[in-house]
Structure 1
Amino acid sequence: MPPAPSLTPATAGSHPTNTPHYIAGQWAAGQGDEAIVVHDPSTTRPFAELQGASLTQVDQAVAAARAALPAWRALSGAERSGYLRRFAEQIEQRRGELLALQMRNNGKPEHEASIDIDDAVATFNYYAVLAEQLDAGQDSDVPLAVPGFVAQTRREPVGVVALIVPWNFPLVTSAWKLAPALAAGCTLVLKPSEVTPLIEQAYGQISDAIGLPAGVLNIVIGARQVGAALSSHPGLDKVSFTGSNAVGSQVMHAAAEQCRPLTLELGGKSAIVVFDDCDLDQAVEWIVAGICWNAGQMCSATSRLVVHERISDALLQHLATAFEALKVGDPAQGQVEMGPLISQAQWAKVNDYFALAQTEGLRCLAGAKAVEQPGWFVRPTLYADVPSGSRLWNEEIFGPVLCTQRFSSEQQAIDIANDSRFGLVATVISSDLQRAQRVAAALEVGHVWINSVQAVFVETSWGGTKASGIGRELGPWGLSAYQSVKHVTRCLG
């Protein structure tokens, strides 16, 4: 069997051992037509080249998962829990390597990359606990109003699942799917983003190290052709996708043709609502974190600031100063607070929005420019009093671009925040806890933070309303997403 690929990439210009696909417990060279070049966004230089999977290899991965399903689903929850705990242990043991790779391929500052690793470890440990609890809860009795019958509930794995994950949080988004799906007893085909295809190979290496049965986890790498073939594959029982609305719509169409379930975690244009009783300095800290973490490349980025008119001028002045002072640069060159955008395409997209803002006549208080150094960097950007009809107010930019509007009443703040086709998250900042709770209840989103950074805990759910997706991840809801419910009823007569 070919050796597992090293996560330490080859230098630019060379060709590393091209065995990035993990199928039926074997590492395989790519046989597809797509050449995938991996870049360091802080320098724009390529540092690895992979060959994508062929459609035949996609078929092989699905077939391997199908063959492994009966034995894997037959294991007890406690047995599957042991594998999940070993995943967590192995991720922690590989921390240094994974940290360096995230900083290089994603441009994440070290503190952000470290939190991502902590998140992945916590996710596998959490679902290990839930897996242990599955055995005791199986075949539970259902109270019936009609005498003479007995009914019991069984929760069973959905089956073979395709997991399609994005580039902005590799390792994390895949952990959010892998851990509950494995706990439930599903077998899997994972497709990482072609922009960041290296880090998820760690999951294949870990599978080898812990003796995960062959075919339970398969990894195929590729761009649009591989993703389309996987999402429409007739051998699947479910698809779980995280990414853009444009691609999510295509995945949903494919699922509709197969009449099979899916989970979609899509885009956002989230609001952060700031009332006039806040501490300005603390509010600035939370606002900056909400739009500049991961260079704003988050579906949950709070990119619409809705601020009370009595403090709007002072708050925007504080924000502009904070944006200008933010340290932007290559994480490998020292302590930075915000890294680059992920790719040339994303950098061009954000700069197109800067040009559009000029065309729309928006008032810029900070940023709206690239950084004059190698790499796909932009400055965090602040626009004041952006009209509701502006494309920058309505469209997901996926960069560190914050647009603002003012409000005069609580209901107006709620109306502005809810006036969006998206409904993923929101943040409320106010010293009046009752008011903050009242506003949180009125917001049409899946998750609300009150006086906080975007702290995401594995015990709580993740997902949105409206165009932000279908279903929930994390918490017990994440496990339920990979289970089907069966009832067994018998007559006592």
Structure 2
Amino acid sequence: MNPYALLIDGKRVETASHAEVKNPSTGDTVGLMPLATPEQLDLAVEAAARAFKTWSRTADAERKRACHAVADIIAANQEELALLLTREQGKPLNGLGSRFEMGGTLAWTRYTADLTLPVEILQDNNEGRVELHRKPIGVVGSITPWNWPVMIASWHIIPAIRAGNTVVLKPSPQTPLSTIRMVELINQVLPPGVVNVITGENSIGAALSAHPGIAKMTFTGSIETGKKVMASAVATLKRLTLELGGNDAGIVLPDADPKQIAQGLFWGAFINNGQTCSALKRLYVHDSIYDAVCEELVAYAGTIAIGDGQDEASILGPIQNEMQFNKVSELVEDARTRGGRILTGGARMERPGYFYPITLVADVDHGFRLVDEEQFGPALPIIRYSDIDEVIDRANSLPVGLGGSIWSSNIEKARELATRLECGIAWVNKHGAIQPNAPHGGIKQSGIGVQFGVEGLKELTVAQTVLS
């Protein structure tokens, strides 16, 4: 098996040591991840800093063309990337799996390529002219997670280079190979040093976030790691964009139709097997339709094929890693022992790999770990309520605030209630739907800053006011 290599200054850089990357469906080795040394991290940051001197002065139209060229080369190789992604992440090729992720990667890349930040004229009269310029920051450090590794890498890379920055990216050690391959491809169309990738265990990520040559950190991942990234930024006052964990609430109003909303609720919760930061993780259902919603969810769950991601018939795959598998198992078992009613699932599937069935748990409440903690997997607690003001307060009671949703046949009423949710993005009759022109980010402990659209692009710049 050929080991993978780092990408520094447009070149493959070999490492002395490697770590195996396992397929969560089978336990087979997919490839060997290079383990970067601190010295190699220094080389990557130095290469990015050299490239920044030229790339930051490249004409805006040229950077736009380069980002479109990145999209074109990814598109030409998307099936190869999708297969590698499935093998290391576990998600199916079909449905909302690896091919869907590649489609999202291309959509975000092409949309972001066409964004511009023109000079804003704040004043132009006989008293003088005031201009507001948006300038690139410098070398951007990026740390990406294992759940949507290719797409989230594109969310970090493309706005950074579109704005004139250069990048040193460190993917998750669980899913580094598809990201390495993508960076290999885009280095074919970008100048050397504009995008570099280093890989290794968490220690190399910590060194990246603390590195004095990094001007900004973009991180997607857990709250605890996000706090560490933020702490490491203090010494050099790095700018930050942090998209951290959540525990998204969905609230079903009594006028909702259980049959009509069941599919939307299901995919809001179980997209990517529940391994999505802004997935629906707590479902509150009004007492008058509680049993009907539970029945419809169970019925829909029974139609979903779970299996190896390389099987074209699979709609959902395994949990990606053992640690997350164990956490989901523990939370479900805790709910069971405390009186939670398992409607479907609730026990490991009898097959190799980290396969856990779709699990719906009724008759739970706050104080259950499955409600209070982010499960990040295929288990959904369903909580009964009767008073809308009380349930809004309960939905807002946790120290996180990524997303939330309201489900109702009265759209105007649902929109009004959605504005009362304490979260960065709120949906009506859907959950988890994101798009490249709509800023996305968390509040409270779910993050700092936003991604996507013009607002997200601005986060990769510094403002400079010019008076004349």
TM over 0.5: yes
How far 1:470 moved relative to its partner?
0.3
1:300 corresponds, among 259, 278, 299, to 278
Aligned match of 2:121 = 141
Unpaired segments ≥5 residues, structure 1: 1-14
1:152-201 CA distance string (max 9 Å, x none): 11110011110110010011101111111011000110111110111112
2:90 corresponds, among 107, 111, 126, to 107
CA contact (8 A) 2:335 2:364 kept: no
2:67 corresponds, among 81, 84, 96, to 84
1:209 corresponds, among 172, 188, 198, to 188
The answer to whether 1:190 aligns with 2:169 is yes
The answer to whether 1:22 aligns with 2:7 is yes
State the distance in 2 between where 1:473 and 1:208 align.
Answer: 23
Aligned match of 1:5 = none
1:368 corresponds, among 336, 346, 362, to 346
Letter matched to residue 224 of structure 2: A
The answer to whether 1:179 aligns with 2:158 is yes
Aligned match of 1:166 = 145
Aligned match of 1:6 = none
State the distance in 2 between where 1:444 and 1:208 align.
Answer: 41
1:345 corresponds, among 310, 320, 323, to 323
How far 1:325 moved relative to its partner?
4.1
SS at match of 1:332: coil
CA contact (8 A) 2:246 2:278 kept: yes
1:389-468 equivalence runs, <5 A: 389-468=367-446
SS at match of 2:56: helix
SS at match of 1:263: strand
How far 1:355 moved relative to its partner?
2.6
Aligned match of 1:64 = 47
CA contact (8 A) 2:437 2:452 kept: yes
Aligned match of 2:111 = 126
How far 1:368 moved relative to its partner?
1.2
How far 1:469 moved relative to its partner?
0.3
State the distance in 1 between where 2:312 and 2:72 align.
Answer: 29
1:235 corresponds, among 199, 213, 216, to 213
How far 1:380 moved relative to its partner?
1.2
Taking structure 1 as the reference length, the TM-score comes to 0.91
1:380-430 CA distance string (max 9 Å, x none): 111213121122111111111111212223322322221221111112111
CA contact (8 A) 2:81 2:182 kept: no
State the distance in 2 between where 1:366 and 1:207 align.
Answer: 44
Q: Percent identity?
A: 36
Aligned match of 2:131 = 152
State the distance in 2 between where 1:203 and 1:325 align.
Answer: 34
CA contact (8 A) 1:305 1:403 kept: yes
2:453 corresponds, among 448, 462, 475, to 475
How far 1:47 moved relative to its partner?
2.4
Deviating more after overlay: 472-481 vs 102-111: 102-111
State the distance in 1 between where 2:336 and 2:431 align.
Answer: 31
How far 1:465 moved relative to its partner?
0.8
Runs of 4+ in 1 over 4 A off after TM superposition: none
How far 1:36 moved relative to its partner?
2.0
How far 1:103 moved relative to its partner?
1.8
State the distance in 1 between where 2:411 and 2:149 align.
Answer: 35
State the distance in 2 between where 1:474 and 1:69 align.
Answer: 22
Deviating more after overlay: 18-27 vs 469-478: 18-27
State the distance in 2 between where 1:234 and 1:475 align.
Answer: 29
State the distance in 1 between where 2:391 and 2:261 align.
Answer: 16
Q: Figure out how many residues of one structure are paired with residues of the other and give that number.
A: 466
CA contact (8 A) 2:279 2:431 kept: no
Per the alignment, do residues 274 and 362 of structure 1 end up closer, same or farther by CA in structure 2, a change over 3 Å counting? same
Aligned match of 2:295 = 317
Aligned match of 1:484 = 462
Deviating more after overlay: 313-322 vs 263-272: 313-322
Letter matched to residue 27 of structure 1: R
State the distance in 2 between where 1:67 and 1:209 align.
Answer: 18
Letter matched to residue 57 of structure 1: Q
CA contact (8 A) 1:19 1:28 kept: no
SS at match of 1:383: strand
